[in-house]
Chain A
Amino acid sequence: MDIDYIVAHIPMFGKAAFLTISLALAGILLSLLIGLACALVRYFRVPLLHRLIAAYIELSRNTPLMIQLFFLYYGLTRVGIMLEGVTCAIVGLAFLGGGYMAEAIRSGLDAVGRVQIESGLSIGLSRLQLIRYVVLPQAMAVAVPAIAANTIFLIKETSVFSIIALPDLMYVAKDLMKEGNSNESNFMLVVSYLVLILPVSLFFTRLERRMRRAGLGH
């Protein structure tokens, strides 16, 4: 392996990694928001809307991100909806992640016992106060492991963004391979993803451990 070649291309990978992590961050934050909204709609069985949301969740969880992106980027332009690469990537990731996060948060909501809700009611909290102070904090604590798994899954899924012409890590690596340096570029690819994902993985492991010690979650 050619060390000089690797060193020379660090800035290039750095830039690509920055793009990957920015897109992932935006997509994951949106996923959490969508997931929270959907989970609450499902939890309260908001008429009509909760069926619609159920359909969305099934659709997003049972189709691959790559196909969603192909359809968004290449398919929808044909019916007049033009999304540029970055928008498309974030929308796609949020569409996929929203469904996964919704399920994670919903299982957290379901885990909050009936007695908790009743005792919240019995001290005179309103519905909204009950959700905010009693149900959500406990539900989110229970959902942490699933949210963690989804987050890491979504970061890994970003690796397909090059199919919609975004210069992310895979894109750069593929470019270098064309020059015939597949070992070096693969090495940098592996290192880049380790640098991106390992800290996230460690962060969540710690968070889960702290939650468990506090007697929250399962």
Chain B
Amino acid sequence: MAQHVLEIRNLHKSFGEREVIHGLDLDVRKGEVVVVIGPSGCGKSTLLRCINGLEPIQQGEIFLNGKSITSGKIKWNLVRQQIGMVFQSYDLFPHMNVMENILLGPLKAQGRRREEVEAEAEALLARVGLLDRKDSFPSQLSGGQKQRVAIVRALCMKPEMMLFDEVTASLDPEMVREVLDVILGLADEGMTMMIVTHEMAFAKAVADRVIFMDGGVVVESARPEVFFETPQTERARKFLNTFQFREVRHCLDEDDEDCLP
């Protein structure tokens, strides 16, 4: 049996009266990349936030490396050190430069040695192509650069797994790629990840498994080529269709070769 980094059993989450996740089960293997997609309001972002303890849950259990992080007295700051998270909105601390942003967690929360962490941070920054910006402040960076730094900041904690919550949703189109490439690189290295995204091509490329959520439950769970080619449910087909456009414009000219029937 493959080792599960994350196990979720019968998770229920509600905001007041409204239940947004109804009894969700999910296992994530070590090194697996799980992409979560679904219409807005389906509970996919909430799922990530529950895993990181940013939202209290009403019922169910979550295990990280076999240990429950939902029952008993949980030291959330210690749990969160093992789970890296990157958010949709640029979440760098505006009063610190890039290096200070990255060092804060390892130095203060983990109490590690500065020289060691700094060397690691520089290596990671170099990898995402931002070593020359280590003294810049967030206000001097582009959106794509900020998100790459946010990823480095999370990685520098040496997490067991990473959560990405629509990290490219507020980016200008030309900056999306540079961020997604970093995540693709992580996948190649075997980082365990859960990714919420609306970039379908990226989902197809990066995922080991695609999870389609709707109405607070997992509707489909399959390998990406299976899910995108032959979705099993009507709901998934409908959702995928919203990303398709019929090419009507060319068809005004009947001799056009591009014109499809």
Show the binding face of A for B, using Cβ within 8 Å.
113, 115-116, 118-126, 129, 133-134, 137-138, 141, 214-216
In the complex, B19 has a CB within 8 A of chain A: no
9 CB contacts below 8 A, A to B, read: A113-B89, A123-B84, A124-B81, A124-B110, A125-B104, A133-B104, A134-B104, A214-B137, A214-B139
Show the binding face of B for A, using Cβ within 8 Å.
52-54, 76-78, 80-81, 83-85, 87, 89, 91-95, 104-105, 108-110, 137-140, 150, 153-154, 157
What are the residues of chain B within 8 A of A125 when measuring CB–CB?
77, 104-105, 108-109
**How far apart are the CA atoms of A115 and B108 in the complex, in Å?**
19
* Smallest beta-carbon distance B139→chain A, Å: 3
A123 touches which of B89, B105, B139 (Cβ 8 Å): B105
A123 touching B137, Cβ below 8 Å: no
What are the residues of chain A within 8 A of B80 when measuring CB–CB?
121-124
**How far apart are the CA atoms of A133 and B81 in the complex, in Å?**
17
B54 touching A129, Cβ below 8 Å: no
**How far apart are the CA atoms of A118 and B78 in the complex, in Å?**
15
* Smallest beta-carbon distance A127→chain B, Å: 8
**How far apart are the CA atoms of A129 and B83 in the complex, in Å?**
18
A138 touching B54, Cβ below 8 Å: no
What are the residues of chain A within 8 A of B108 when measuring CB–CB?
125, 129, 133
A123 touching B157, Cβ below 8 Å: yes
**How far apart are the CA atoms of A54 and B257 in the complex, in Å?**
74
A118 touching B94, Cβ below 8 Å: no
What are the residues of chain A within 8 A of B104 when measuring CB–CB?
123, 125, 133-134
Given contacts A123-B81, A124-B80, contact A118 B157 (CB under 8 A): no
Closest to A119 in B: B91
A129 touches which of B52, B78, B109 (Cβ 8 Å): B109
Known: A122-B83, A129-B109, A214-B137. 11 other contacts (CB 8 A): A118-B87, A119-B150, A122-B84, A122-B85, A123-B104, A123-B153, A123-B154, A124-B78, A125-B104, A125-B105, A126-B77
A124 touching B95, Cβ below 8 Å: no
B93 touching A138, Cβ below 8 Å: yes
**How far apart are the CA atoms of A138 and B96 in the complex, in Å?**
10
Closest to A215 in B: B139
What are the residues of chain A within 8 A of B105 when measuring CB–CB?
123-125
What are the residues of chain A within 8 A of B110 when measuring CB–CB?
124
* Smallest beta-carbon distance A143→chain B, Å: 13
What are the residues of chain B within 8 A of A129 when measuring CB–CB?
108-109
* Smallest beta-carbon distance B171→chain A, Å: 15
* Smallest beta-carbon distance B97→chain A, Å: 10
What are the residues of chain A within 8 A of B153 when measuring CB–CB?
123
* Smallest beta-carbon distance B63→chain A, Å: 19
* Smallest beta-carbon distance A201→chain B, Å: 25
What are the residues of chain B within 8 A of A121 when measuring CB–CB?
52-54, 76-77, 80
* Smallest beta-carbon distance B109→chain A, Å: 4
**How far apart are the CA atoms of A129 and B76 in the complex, in Å?**
13
B93 touches which of A116, A118, A122, A124 (Cβ 8 Å): A116
Closest to B156 in A: A123
Closest to A141 in B: B95
What are the residues of chain A within 8 A of B95 when measuring CB–CB?
137-138, 141, 214, 216
B91 touching A134, Cβ below 8 Å: no
Given contacts A129-B109, A214-B137, contact A122 B94 (CB under 8 A): no
**How far apart are the CA atoms of A115 and B78 in the complex, in Å?**
19
What are the residues of chain B within 8 A of A115 when measuring CB–CB?
87, 89, 91
What are the residues of chain A within 8 A of B78 when measuring CB–CB?
124
* Smallest beta-carbon distance B221→chain A, Å: 26
B109 touching A122, Cβ below 8 Å: no
> Which of B80, B94, B104 has the largest count of A CB atoms less than 10 A from its CB?
B94
What are the residues of chain B within 8 A of A122 when measuring CB–CB?
52, 54, 80, 83-85, 87, 154
Closest to A132 in B: B108
What are the residues of chain B within 8 A of A118 when measuring CB–CB?
54, 87, 91
